[in-house]
């Protein structure tokens, strides 16, 4: 005896007019897997974004602080190069009452400075001015002097800048050090020089100038310095035991 299924009840084994359970379960599984993958992907993207923001928040302040420290450290040092002329006053030989004239040669100066301290509008720096004039003509009527001389001055000094933090800053400098004269091996009339061709001397330096910082760490320098030295060996006795070597120059300066 064959029994039929009750009315209104679906037979899972039938293919027409019935609903299959397998496809429904598969669809639900696929939906759950898709949601899980979406959540994992979203979470990964959020973690990456948060990590990037964290890196920016940490790294940027460090870089900025490093730049500020580097800039502050850099501006403690300074180099300058200037070119100009050196002037030496005329001397007189008492025994002949004749003058000794000096030329006004092209000259050069180099300077390294390091900032030491700031107090209000004043800045204190240590510096090493180096000045050179390769050849200065010497003229004496009797012709017994060397025909020319040269000089090198190296004078460690202290410099005080006024308005040291501004773009325009005047300054004064004082110090002392070493000088070396070169005397020509021939006299004015082309005779052999009977005197020495090299003389050492102590030097006192007084200076004043103006720095104009026109672009970032670059500026222009105007300077005048007096290198007060002993006399070079001129083969004559002058009325002076020391001489003023006045240097006036203009050039560039750089902070680093």
Q: Give the model's pLDDT for residue 103.
A: 97
Task: Identify the CA nearest to 148 among candidates 111, 119, 106, 116.
Answer: 106
Counted residue by residue, the chain has a size of: 256
In sequence order, the β-bridge partners of residue 242 are 230
Q: Which residues of the chain have pLDDT under 70?
A: 1-74
Report the distance separating Cα 17 and Cα 10, nearest Å: 8
Considering its fold, how many domains does the chain have in total? 2
- 137, part of any domain: yes
Report the distance separating Cα 121 and Cα 117, nearest Å: 11
148/61 same-domain check: no
- 165, part of any domain: yes
- 139, part of any domain: yes
121/65 same-domain check: no
Q: Which letter does DSSP use for residue 20 in this model? A: -
Q: Give the model's pLDDT for residue 239.
A: 84
Q: Residues 225, 207: contact at Cβ < 8 Å?
A: yes
For the chain, how long is the longest CA-to-CA vector? 163
C-alpha 26, offset from chain centre: 74
Q: Give the model's pLDDT for residue 75.
A: 78
114/162 same-domain check: yes
58/84 same-domain check: no
Helix (H, G, I), strand (E, B) or coil at 68: helix
137/162 same-domain check: yes
**217: domain range?**
77-255
Report the distance separating Cα 77 and Cα 12, nearest Å: 93
196/223 same-domain check: yes
Report pTM.
Answer: 0.72
The whole-chain average pLDDT of the chain stands at: 83
Structure tokens at 187: 């006299």
């Amino acid at each position: 005896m064959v029994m039929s299924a009750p009315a209104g009840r679906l037979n899972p084994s039938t293919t027409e007019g019935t609903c299959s359970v397998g496809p429904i379960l598969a669809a639900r599984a696929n939906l759950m897997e898709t949601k899980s993958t979406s959540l994992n992907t979203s979470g990964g993207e959020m973690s990456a974004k948060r990590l990037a923001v964290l890196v920016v928040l940490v790294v940027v302040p460090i870089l900025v602080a490093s730049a500020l420290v580097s800039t502050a450290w850099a501006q403690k040092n300074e180099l300058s190069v200037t070119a100009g002329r050196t002037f030496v006053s005329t001397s007189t030989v008492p025994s002949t009452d004749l003058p000794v004239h000096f030329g006004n040669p092209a000259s050069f100066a180099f300077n390294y400075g390091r900032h030491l301290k700031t107090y209000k509008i004043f800045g204190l720096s240590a510096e090493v001015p180096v000045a050179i004039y390769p050849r200065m003509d010497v003229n004496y009527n009797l012709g017994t002097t060397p025909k020319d001389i040269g000089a090198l001055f190296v004078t460690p000094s202290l410099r005080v800048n006024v308005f040291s933090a501004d773009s325009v800053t005047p300054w004064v400098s004082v110090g002392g050090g070493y000088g070396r004269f070169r005397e020509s091996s021939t006299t004015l009339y082309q005779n052999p020089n009977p005197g020495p061709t090299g003389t050492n001397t102590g030097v006192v330096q007084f200076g004043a100038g103006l720095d104009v910082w026109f672009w970032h760490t670059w500026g222009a320098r105007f300077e005048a310095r007096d290198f007060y030295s002993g006399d070079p060996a001129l083969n004559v006795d002058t009325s002076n035991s020391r001489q003023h070597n006045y240097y006036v120059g203009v050039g560039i300066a750089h902070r680093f």
